[in-house]
Structure 1
Amino acid sequence: MKIPVAIVDDNTQNRRSLAEQLGYSDEVTVRFTSKNGIDFLEQMKTTPADMHPSVVLMDIEMPEMKGTEVVRYAHQIYPDLKFLMLTVFDDDDKIFEAIKNGANGYLLKDEKTSTIIDHIQQLIEIGGAPMSPSIARKALSLLSRSRLNETDTGSKDNVAERLSERECDVLKLVVEGKDYKAIAEKLFLSTHTIRKHIANIYEKLHVSSKAQVINLALQSKWFNS
């Protein structure tokens, strides 16, 4: 089944263009688009529950209500809804605020449509935290200075030993900010295989997102040498 999504962006051209591009996809379907956060919340109220989106592509800087505020508020009402921030901004404050308020991923608007679709699938299939490579690099810096996610690190010295050699290779590339496609190309594997490896890594390390696994790897200093 196609993954139902919603698009929230105050720029009419951007909103319509993305909806049109996603409309050609066999993987996702656009339930509705919204011109701002208030409009999005109103449409969620009037849309039957079985027609709600599973993933929301959310702009950050909008009139009426910022995207990060929408995420924080909507999470209280729709806890299963996943938010993928899609924006031109990549500064530390906005990344931190988005993650803190419950965003599940953070992509730049100049990403290819195919990349956006791939990240939507990642979000649904393994519950990761998709990020553009440049965003992931900034998140590494943020996570090294602040514990954004509480993770059990009591046995961090031997946690990495739970992973196979191939899983360690995959994890190292994840920490470096590589996306699924880049990791697959680097290791000469399919993206499907990479997804399975990452799902196994999450299970073995008892984490549920890219932000958590990066934080754990940084704290444990697995790849510092």
Structure 2
Amino acid sequence: MTNIKILVCDDHEILRKGIVELLNLQEGMEVIGEAVNGLEAVTHTEKLEPDVVLMDIQMPDYNGLEAVKKIREQNQEVKIIMLTVSDEEKDLYTSIKNGANGYLLKNMNLNDLFAHIHGVLKGEASFSPGLANKLLYEFKSMAERLQSQKGSQYNLSDREMDVLELVVKGYSNEEIGDLLFISQHTVKKHLGNILQKLHVKNRYQAANFAVKEGLIDDQE
């Protein structure tokens, strides 16, 4: 069985050497290189072709976030796991945006680190406990902001977008009222505003228009 080839990138020598030693003691894993700064992380990845890169964030000559972005520009295959002390949301979001496959905190259990290395090679995302929830919350918030922006193109309020989404899903006025805790009269008022703003004649045309224009995703 071929060993997993790993590149360890960290400017703290004692910590880096410790990680290297522990990984080399693990059956099936082999550290093929070390990088002490972001520039070396980029050049060593290109030269050594590791399977997995363990990347710290706070490093000189490109920080880890910049290094990930530059590596991704030339290599889409290598798996990159951030291994850091930072639990800052901005670092988490930026690392994933730049192409990292995982984000782990250095205080994690050693066996968990080994498991995450194996997992990321199987296509699994690797996150320390709690960080995955932060990421999912951010994606949910982004989706909500995007939908709100789409509605604003037609001057639809957030509540009108809620009603329109339920119309697309085929709910009746009574069902919409129950789901949104509003009266049928209020539903009809919102629906009338929607028809007027979208320049359509009925709820069916409104639903078709909303899906066609990307206002509502009918696959949800």
TM range (shorter): 0.5 to 0.7
Matches within 5 A, 1:7-22: 7-22=8-23
The offset of 1:77, in angstroms, is 1.0
RMSD (CA atoms): 1.8
Please list the CA deviations of residues 152-196 of structure 1 after superposition, one character each: whole Å capped at 9, or x if unmatched. Answer: xxxxx9xxxxxxxxxxxxxxxxxxxxxxxxxxxxxxxxxxxxxxx
For structure 1, which runs of at least 5 residues remain unmatched after alignment? 148-156, 158-218, 221-225
Q: Distance in 1 between matches of 2:68 and 2:33?
A: 17
Q: Distance in 2 between matches of 1:45 and 1:107?
A: 23
By how many angstroms is 1:78 displaced? Answer: 1.5
d(CA) in 2 for partners of 1:30, 1:6: 6
1-side partners of 2:130 and 2:23: how far apart? Answer: 23
1:106–1:131 Cα contact (<8 Å) kept: yes
| TM-score, scaled to structure 2 | 0.62
Three-state SS of the structure 2 residue aligned to 1:7 is strand
| 2:124 is the alignment partner of 1:128 | yes
- Tell me what 1:62 maps to: 59
Unaligned runs of 5+ in 2: 144-168, 170-218
Aligned residue number for residue 178 of structure 1: none
Q: Which residue of 2 aligns with 1:118?
A: 115
* Larger RCO of the pair (alpha carbons < 8 Å, separation 6+): 1
Distance 1:34 1:4 in 2: 14
SS at match of 2:59: coil
Deviation readout 1:16-35 (Å, 9 max, x if unpaired): 00001111101311111110
> Counterparts of 1:27 and 1:139 in 2: how far apart (Å)?
31
Q: State which structure, 1 or 2, has the greater radius of gyration over its C-alpha atoms.
A: 2
User: Do 1:22 and 1:113's aligned partners in 2 also have CA atoms closer than 8 Å?
Assistant: no
| 2:27 matched residue in structure 1 | 26
Q: How many residues are treated as equivalent by the alignment?
A: 145
* 1:168 counterpart residue number: none
Q: Distance in 1 between matches of 2:53 and 2:126?
A: 13
Give the C-alpha shift of residue 40 in structure 1.
2.0
Counterpart secondary structure, 2:39 = helix
SS at match of 2:8: strand
State how far apart, in whole Å, the 1-side matches of 2:108 and 2:140 are: 26
Aligned residue among 81, 85, 96 for 1:84? 81
| Residue aligning to 2:70 | 73
Query: Which stretches of structure 1, 4 residues or longer, exceed 6 Å deviation after superposition?
Result: none
Determine whether 1:139 maps to 2:135: yes
> How far did residue 45 of structure 1 move?
4.5
Q: CA separation in 1, counterparts of 2:23 and 2:127?
A: 19
If the length of structure 1 is used for normalisation, what is the TM-score?
A: 0.61
SS of equivalent to 2:127: coil
